[in-house]
Amino acid sequence: MFAYRGKTALVTGASAGIGAEFARALAARGSDVILVARSQERLRALADELARDFGVRAEVIAADLTRADAARDLYAEAEVRGLTVDLLINNAGFGTHGPFETLAPARDHAEVMLNVAAVVDLTHLFLPAMLKRGDGAVINVASTASFQPVPYMAVYGATKAFVLSFSEALWAECRGRGVRVLALCPGTTATEFFDVVGTQDAGRGDRRQAHPRAGGGHGAARAGARPALRCRRRGQLPAGADGAPGAAKCHGAGDGTHDAPAPGSVGHLATRLALPHSR
């Protein structure tokens, strides 16, 4: 079981979407959070919300993780602030869409830097201390695009296939050493992802409309998501449409002290299906 209270989680891409919902779900469990994204203003607003609603410490570190030295600078800043990262959530990422030859090379390069290089670099920096303590977790946000080539999103699909393979390999290496590694593979989710891609054609499947949290939550509607979320653990394949055996789902467990996100919402995705079991 993973104890959240008194621990610190670092969430990249925390200014919106799944990253922001991860931060809320973690704060609701009593975890302090380090919020990382480019927009300091949006991060500060979220940090204020989490500190007010849950009484946790919420640190803001603005960073552009497409830069080659960004992960190292982020790690150094966390060290300066005396922050120990117990849970690393590599969530930041974006996609490009269109015939490969028509896409801007610089944009695709930035996509690889964020979706792949930043994930590897941050894991290199924060994982060793977790292993030394014998306690911690890494959640890498991949995609259902991880499981097959994606024409017209060739680079995005390849980066997410890397994230899934990387996560499975690290899971095996960390097994029995007190550190959990998990790949989160969301399906089509109503976040700002499509605004960044620049087209709604990048989505496959239905995107549910925004849902308020059950019981009112924070009084705000959250973006919806079909919980077509699967992970592969222990080298097993994800369940297919035919319900193939050997599939493993990611299950979370709340402590019952906070409002439950509505089923199908981004908050439900982040809370119920990705976070390690709590105690």
pLDDT per residue as tens digits for the range 215-274: 333 222 233 222 323 334 433 333 332 222 222 333 222 222 233 344 444 444 444 445
Q: Is 4 a catalytic residue?
A: no
Average pLDDT, the chain: 77
CA-to-CA distance for 221 and 210, rounded, in angstroms?
A: 6
Query: Which of 94-103, 130-139, 160-169, 205-214 comes out lowest in average pLDDT?
Result: 205-214
Per-residue pLDDT for 166 more than 90?
A: yes
pLDDT of residue 274: 54
Q: C-alpha distances in angstroms, 268 versus 28, 176, 236, 263, 275?
A: 13, 29, 24, 6, 11
- For domain 8-235+247-272, the CATH superfamily is NAD(P)-binding Rossmann-like Domain (3.40.50.720)
Q: C-alpha distances in angstroms, 265 versus 21, 40, 222?
A: 10, 25, 7
Per-residue pLDDT for 149 more than 70?
A: yes
The dihedral through the CA atoms of 237, 182, 93, 267 has a sign that is: positive
pLDDT digits over 62-94, tens only? 999 999 999 999 999 999 999 999 999 999 999
The dihedral through the CA atoms of 190, 171, 64, 98 has a sign that is: negative
Q: Which helix (DSSP H) or strand (DSSP E) does residue 180 occupy?
A: strand 179-184
The per-residue b/e assignment along 43-53, b for 16 or more CB within 10 angstroms, e otherwise, is beebbebbeee
* Mean pLDDT in residue range 109-113: 97
**What count of residues does the chain have?**
279
pTM of the model: 0.75
Burial class (CB in 10 A: 0-12, 13-18, 19+), 247: middle
Residue-range domain boundaries for the chain: 8-235+247-272
Instruction: Given the residues 4, 75, 152, 156, select the one marked as catalytic.
Output: 156
